[in-house]
């Protein structure tokens, strides 16, 4: 079952089979590719960023409070003003840290998506290969990493398809010659030296085609 959630004129959320996808400016985006790679990478990146931001916030707050303490020693009558200024500074520090944390996670999401997407598409292509055979092709998005992997896979599949078509053509030629030879044998006196030579040549061609298939 597919459900649609309208969020704006340019963005639409789509839920299908438990997966959430987004249409942004008319293009479908699935930011989390099936698998654990993105979740693990985002968890590590988010945890490390949170630790660093928390340590930086603590250092900045201590620095602000230390500076305020020096000011109050000189002018204690400014306590109310200094306390309010400290609260504003701490709010700004926490807000900036939250924006930084969310920004790092978004960048990590986009970058891991450009890596996980190609791996997912390659896995799907390999799963389809036994069914679709040499007609299988791999297609990455424009911004995905590892474009050389797409080129190498498609070149391999195209070469295999070309060899398969060449073998089919050779087999069709041999089959046609065998049919002609069989028709000649049905005529009176048809089994002569020429027919024998033709059959031996076709047998050799079949043997050679079999060796080529086994080798590749």
Q: What is the pLDDT of residue 3?
A: 38
pLDDT score of 16 more than 50: no
Task: Provide the residue ranges of all domains of the chain, joining segments of one domain with +.
Answer: 1-30, 32-145, 159-215
SS3 27: strand
Higher pLDDT, 117 or 180: 117
Angstrom distance (rounded) from CA 191 to CA 200: 13
Full DSSP string of 148-206: HHHHHHHHHHHHHHHHHHHHHHHHHHHHHHHHHHHHHHHSTT--SHHHHHHHHHHHHHH
Q: What is the pLDDT of residue 97?
A: 93
Express each pLDDT in 34-91 by its tens digit: 778 888 989 999 999 999 999 999 999 999 888 888 888 888 888 888 888 889 999 9
Residue 189 pLDDT class (50, 70, 90 cuts): low
């Amino acid at each position: 079952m597919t459900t649609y959630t309208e969020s704006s004129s340019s963005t639409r959320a789509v839920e299908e089979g438990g997966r959430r996808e987004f249409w942004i400016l008319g293009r479908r985006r699935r930011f989390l590719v099936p698998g654990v790679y993105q979740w693990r990478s985002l968890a590590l990146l988010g945890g490390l960023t949170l630790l660093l931001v928390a340590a930086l916030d603590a250092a900045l707050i201590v620095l602000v409070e230390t500076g305020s303490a020096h000011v109050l020693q000189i002018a204690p009558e400014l306590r109310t003003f200094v306390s309010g200024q400290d609260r504003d500074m701490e709010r700004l520090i926490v807000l900036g840290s939250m924006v930084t944390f969310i920004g790092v996670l978004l960048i990590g999401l986009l970058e891991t998506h450009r890596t996980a997407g190609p791996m997912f598409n390659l896995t799907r292509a390999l799963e389809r290969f036994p069914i679709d055979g040499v007609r299988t092709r791999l297609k990455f998005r424009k911004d995905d990493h590892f474009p050389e992997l797409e080129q190498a896979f498609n070149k391999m599949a195209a070469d295999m398809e070309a060899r398969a078509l060449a073998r089919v053509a050779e087999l069709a030629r041999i089959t046609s010659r065998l049919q002609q030879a069989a028709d000649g044998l049905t005529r009176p006196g048809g089994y002569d030296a020429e027919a024998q030579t033709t059959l031996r040549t076709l047998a050799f061609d079949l043997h050679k085609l079999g060796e080529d298939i086994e080798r590749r």
